[in-house]
Amino acid sequence: MKKQQLLENKQHGTPAFPFECFRTQTDTTDFFIPLHWHKKTELMHVYHGTCLLTIGNETYPAKGGDLFCINAEELHRITSEDATLEYSTFIFQPDLFSFAISDQAQLLLQPLIDGRMQFPTCITDAAVKATLQPLLHRILQAAEEKAVGYELLVKAGLLQLTAELLYQGLLLPTDPITLEASRNQRERMKKILTYLKQHMTEPLTLSSLADTFHMSEKYFSRYFRNATGQTFTAYLNTIRMNHACQLLLETDDTVLEIALECGYENVSYFIRLFGNLMHCTPLQYRLSKQHRLKQIFFEKADMILLFSTVDNHWRTANTGRQRIDSAESF
């Protein structure tokens, strides 16, 4: 149950075609996707800007042109202070590649499907990136257009991408002992993160968490930092602030009420911490985001009005033309 609660809620694709891709463009200097995991493989292609991508115990500085692979069940997160960051994400299940059992291609792909082989985390070879980037672009274009038969184009593109990695010797065999140890570590970490999410409004401390999970305080602190890239306190404050941002936008609660709901009894400390992390006060955040939403609404309304005006003008002109044509026919 705890593992299920840590799963990303969003369904990627459909049971019949477990694939999804999307573009992300940021317009903020505090972009953040919190630590999470899912059962599917994820490819990330950075177009513009920079970010920090944490996968497992490693954090990678990413920039335009970089390619990353996040294997199934790997904990990962993204942070960026670059308002020009733009990237695409491709999420799929390796068994999307399945052929008939007797097919030679299936024999090559089965270790990847079973988890005995994995995608490389970071693709650094310039020649390989030059080959894969156009493939990813075609996959994204096909998935966005969703023309008849786009599933075949997506599957063919992913197979070609996988074949290229296999040909280049970049698909990595997984040592069974290492794999089992890694899975055990991930399961333990998922339980810890689930517990934090469920109890973040309570007065949690490093000592109390260490006791709950039967570790010494020193070992728990080191273990948590190695697994998440953050200290326990920094991570707790991050998920609390994410919750606070959500409440600021979705409710009319006062700052005091939100501080208490996020586990902060001292509202002055909450406001100071919010300012350190978000670079504005809670009320400024609420007003700026609401203003941005209104701006987007009016931009869309103006665009609808523009199209409506153009459409009406075209209809009027076309009707007039039809009348002239009718008159000339007599």
Enumerate the domain spans of the chain: 2-175, 230-330
pLDDT tens over the chain, length 330 residues:
344 444 555 556 677 788 999 899 988 888 888 888 888 899 999 999 999 998 887 889 999 999 999 998 888 989 999 999 999 999 998 878 777 666 777 778 888 887 788 899 999 889 999 999 999 999 999 999 989 989 999 999 999 999 999 888 888 877 665 556 666 777 788 889 889 989 998 989 999 999 999 999 999 998 888 777 788 998 899 889 989 998 998 899 999 999 999 999 999 999 999 998 888 899 998 888 765 544 444 444 444 333 344 344 444 444 444 433 443 433
pLDDT at 41: 92
Alpha-carbon distance of 109 to 93, in angstroms, equals 12
Alpha-carbon distance of 121 to 228, in angstroms, equals 16
Alpha-carbon distance of 20 to 7, in angstroms, equals 16
pLDDT at 37: 84
Q: Whose structure tokens read 């586990």? A: 263
Q: Do domains 2-175 and 230-330 have the same CATH topology?
A: no
Could you tell me if 243 and 270 are in contact, meaning their C-beta atoms sit under 8 angstroms apart? no
* Tokens representing residue 17 in the block: 């075609």
β partners of residue 19: 92
Which of 171, 190, 169 has its CA nearest to residue 74? 190
Alpha-carbon distance of 73 to 121, in angstroms, equals 13
Pick the CATH number of 230-330 from 2.130.10.10, 1.10.3720.10, 1.10.10.60, 3.40.50.300: 1.10.10.60
Q: CA–CA distance from 303 to each of 188, 271, 310 (Å)?
A: 50, 38, 10
- Which helix H or strand E contains 135, and what residues bound it? helix 126-145
pLDDT at 229: 74
Range 2-175 has CATH code 2.60.40.420: no
pLDDT at 182: 63
Could you tell me if 86 and 8 are in contact, meaning their C-beta atoms sit under 8 angstroms apart? no
- Which helix H or strand E contains 123, and what residues bound it? strand 122-123
Residue 300 burial (CB count, 10 A): 10
pLDDT at 143: 92
Largest CA distance in the chain: 97
